[in-house]
Structure 1
Amino acid sequence: MNADTARAQPTHRENAQHGTAAGHFTIRLSATPRGARLARRLAAGQLDGWGWPYDTEASHTATLLVAELATNAVRHGRVKGRDFRMTLTLYRDDPVALRIELTDPRTDRRPPTPGTLPPASPETEAGRGLLLVDALASHWGTTCADPYTKTVWCEVILG
């Protein structure tokens, strides 16, 4: 059901922003709430393995970002019978940064661009995920590397 996937070609922004990756993790998960929960848990475990224990602020922030993007991939990017892919790339440059990528099959549903997010309505319980991403990530965006998938990504400084 879950399978490791090959690394997609790095984006231009990734090449320009960082040097060589110090750690890389990618996995395909079912586009279900269970898959989104598993993405968060796998990210926390991977960060722990890379030296950011579960109880650190960096781990909490990164796993929150994964949870928000994975939830969006399930809610807004789901196509029946298709999975989503999570990719984590650790850069040990100064400062240390984590790139989080969630890839889903809905190229027709793209989120607003950074800086154009409307404020959340106080009457609704949903609609705050990308606002959290915008507030916590050093930068984020969306790319479509092929006609079949879109990737929503963000980067967070770990230290």
Structure 2
Amino acid sequence: MKSNLDSLARTTQPTIPSPYLGARVFAMRFTSTPRGARLARRLVGVRLDEWGVPYGTGAHEAVVLIAAELTANAVRHGHIPGRDFHLRLCVTAEPRPTARVEVSDTRAERVPPRPGALPAPGLADGGRGLLLVAGLAARWDWHARPQGPGKTVWAEYEIPGSPPG
């Protein structure tokens, strides 16, 4: 099996056509490991900066944190040996500037709670990732993957200020 990390030279993918007007899209599969999640987070940061959401801004940090939490959850809770997770980042300018992060894994039986049904934060060592996502995102949810087993967890962050790009 070929590793996604071996194909780093091909990470400069062209913008993929999107149904959203003026959208920029980055999509890539990553190994379902902490290293894969870390690489996904870094590439989200690079893409956002390239698309006009610069490093050091609140919007950049929020979207990168959302991506970090969703990819970490895919590795921790959605991992199936030999299967990758898929990340898709879409930044739209219309009708308002929005960044959408989608992370898909192949584990169908472990699903997150629906928005509004998250447990209250306690003193546990873990379990706060989706609470962070819910606090930052304008909307988030999950759905079954249309092709194959698994689920996609997504979150949308409304970017304040002028449209990116």
Q: Could you tell me the TM-score, scaled by structure 1's length?
A: 0.87
Task: Report the counterpart of residue 79 of structure 1 in structure 2.
Answer: 80
Residue 148 of structure 1 aligns with an amino acid whose one-letter code is P
Q: What percentage of residue pairs aligned between the two structures are identical?
A: 44
Alignment correspondent of 2:112: 111
- Displacement, 1:149? 2.4
1:29-64 Cα deviation digits (max 9, x unpaired): 010001111111000000000011111110000000
Can you list the C-alpha shifts for 1:88-118, whole angstroms capped at 9, x where unaligned? 0111014200110000000111100000001
Offset of residue 154 of structure 1: 0.5
- CA distance in 2 between counterparts of 1:51 and 1:81 reads 35
CA–CA distance in structure 2, aligned partners of residues 21 and 129 of structure 1? 30
Separation in 2 of the partners of 1:81 and 1:49? 32
**Number of residue equivalences:** 149
Amino acid at match of 2:54: P
The 5 A counterparts of 1:40-119 are: 40-119=41-120
Structure 1's consecutive aligned runs of 4 or more residues displaced over 3 angstroms after TM superposition are: none
Mapped partners of 2:22, 2:76: distance in 1? 30
1:44–1:143: structure 2 CA closer, same or farther, 3 Å change rule?
A: same
Counterpart-to-counterpart distance in 2, 1:21 and 1:94: 10
Displacement of 1:147 in angstroms is: 4.0
Q: Secondary structure at the match of 1:40?
A: helix
Question: Which stretch of structure 1 is more off in the superposition, 82-91 or 19-28?
Answer: 19-28
Amino acid at match of 1:131: L
Unaligned runs of 5+ in 1: none
Q: Any gaps of 5 or more consecutive residues in structure 2?
A: 161-165
Tell me, in whole angstroms, the C-alpha distance in 2 between the residues paired with 1:146 and 1:44: 28
Per the normalisation by structure 2, the TM-score is 0.84
Tell me the SS of whatever aligns to 2:89: strand
1:36 has 2:12 as partner: no
User: What is the letter of the counterpart of residue 133 of structure 1?
Assistant: V
Q: Is the CA contact (8 Å cut-off) linking 1:21 and 1:89 kept in structure 2?
A: no
Distance in 1 (CA, whole Å) between partners of 2:106 and 2:95 is 34
The residue that corresponds to 2:142 in the other structure is 142
Q: How far did residue 125 of structure 1 move? A: 1.6
State the partner residue of 2:158. 157
Q: Is the 8 A contact 1:139 1:155 kept in 2?
A: yes
